Amino acid sequence: MDRTTTTADTTPTRRVFAMMDADGDSVISAHDYLSRIDRAVRATGRTEDDPLVAIARAEGLKAWGVMDANADGLLTFEEYDAWVDGDKFDNICQFALGSLFDLVDTDGDGALDRTEFTTLRTALNNPPGNAAAAFDALDTDGDGRVARAAYLAAIRAYVVGESSPMGETLY
């Protein structure tokens, strides 16, 4: 779903929440969150017996289980906003996001080229134009590659309210 940013969507947590709310109904359902994995699997052509798919599914389920603390299958913005912080990113989110990164890293070298990066971010519900701009913001040395560590660090910085040129363009 292509979204336009409104005044209500200006904080990093609101923008990330809106991106994860795949159907735009103002809550993140288990389906919204876990369907990101399905989209990444389809986009890469990987099969269910691929170990990287199994890891992505396991990490996604683990992250969802912790985020949905009351186990009602829904995450409101208030619940997400109260939950997300640097510690949660370091101990939960980075593993789920890293496993999705690994799905699209076709040569397994720990870096994505522009096409792989765009595949990943559009599977995660970002508009392709935002993904391209985010890639440019991350590819600071101009080598046409974005390393896994730099990618995860940029998302963490954005989520916790630090400077993240990638986050500003992506969300």
Check residue 9 and give its pLDDT: 60
Number of structural domains the chain divides into? 1
Contact 12, 161 (CB under 8 A): yes
5 assigned to some structural domain = no
* Helix, strand, coil fractions of the chain, as percent rounded to 5: 65, 5, 30
Check residue 10 and give its pLDDT: 77
Check residue 15 and give its pLDDT: 86
94 assigned to some structural domain = yes
18 assigned to some structural domain = yes
138 assigned to some structural domain = yes
Check residue 7 and give its pLDDT: 40
Check residue 19 and give its pLDDT: 86
Q: Which CATH number does the domain housing residue 137 bear?
A: 1.10.238.10
Check residue 166 and give its pLDDT: 80
pTM for the complete prediction? 0.88
Provide the residue-wise pLDDT of the chain in tens; the chain has 171 residues: 334 444 456 788 898 898 899 899 999 999 999 999 999 999 999 999 999 999 999 999 999 999 999 999 999 999 999 899 999 999 999 999 999 999 999 999 999 999 999 999 999 988 888 899 999 999 999 999 999 999 999 999 998 888 888 877 777
2 assigned to some structural domain = no
4 assigned to some structural domain = no
Check residue 6 and give its pLDDT: 43
Helix/strand/coil for 164: coil
Question: What residues have CB less than 8 Å from 47, skipping those under 6 apart?
Answer: 53
1 assigned to some structural domain = no
Helix/strand/coil for 133: helix
3 assigned to some structural domain = no
Range of the domain at 65: 10-170
